[in-house]
Chain A
């Protein structure tokens, strides 16, 4: 199952609409880390509404993805974690460790819009 990635202005939006295997999730990670550079994106919104479970593997993969995207100079926000998925994550003791989350796509866009632009380093004359 391929996850479509949409480009909207400075952002990339990936919406997981169906159940993903571990391999699909790794492919998505690689694609996003790549495309942040292709489109010179400033932010990535990952909508996980369609994920049926978030277990240790998916949480670790999402965390890694956010950190890799950060190293490429963009911010990631994860949106759409369902109540029962949140419950299971807490029960399992899983944490996204500092990866920002927001309720839905709208809140995710608002979140990215509030992040101040990183200052451009000044060159000495």
Chain B
């Protein structure tokens, strides 16, 4: 099952940074890269923390559910607006019940992580592609205020 939203901007290919996610240390590395990128794009300190938090949630889902995957951080091409794109990709078990996963409180790993509904609330665009056995891709975009 897939949920799509209209794309209003494309990610600049040469700005994409890939962070492999395998361990809990990689979660920290990925969110620090995200914060650095946001700050270098003149996002505010608050927005940079939001972006780091989003990446932390997404990367943790990878470690918890898929064991390994990657986070892609890119800049959006739509001047004069400044935006950041984050893609979380894994080839794990996928999400069986997407509607439930997007509701608050749903989690299959003993109540830790997921937080997909929180992530969705925090971003401007949210796209989820997943199917049982087919892995999960979450793509989000956030614009600087």
**CA A119 to CA B118, docked complex, whole Å:** 42
A83: which B residues are within 8 A, CB to CB? 46
The 9 A-B residue pairs with the shortest CB-CB distance in the complex, in nearest-first order: A92-B118, A84-B49, A56-B115, A84-B46, A21-B24, A22-B24, A55-B56, A53-B53, A88-B53
Cross-chain contact B53 with A55 (CB below 8 angstroms): yes
> A-contacting residues of B (Cβ < 8 Å)?
24-25, 27-28, 31-32, 35, 45-46, 48-50, 52-53, 56-57, 60, 104, 111-115, 117-119, 121-122
Cross-chain contact B60 with A22 (CB below 8 angstroms): yes
Q: Given that A19-B28, A23-B24, A88-B50 are contacting pairs, would A57 and B118 also be in contact in the complex, using a CB cutoff of 8 Å?
A: no
A53: which B residues are within 8 A, CB to CB? 31, 49, 52-53, 56
Interface of B is mostly: helix
Cross-chain contact B111 with A60 (CB below 8 angstroms): yes
Of residues 70 to 125 in A, which have CB atoms within 8 Å of B's CB atoms? 82-85, 87-88, 91-94
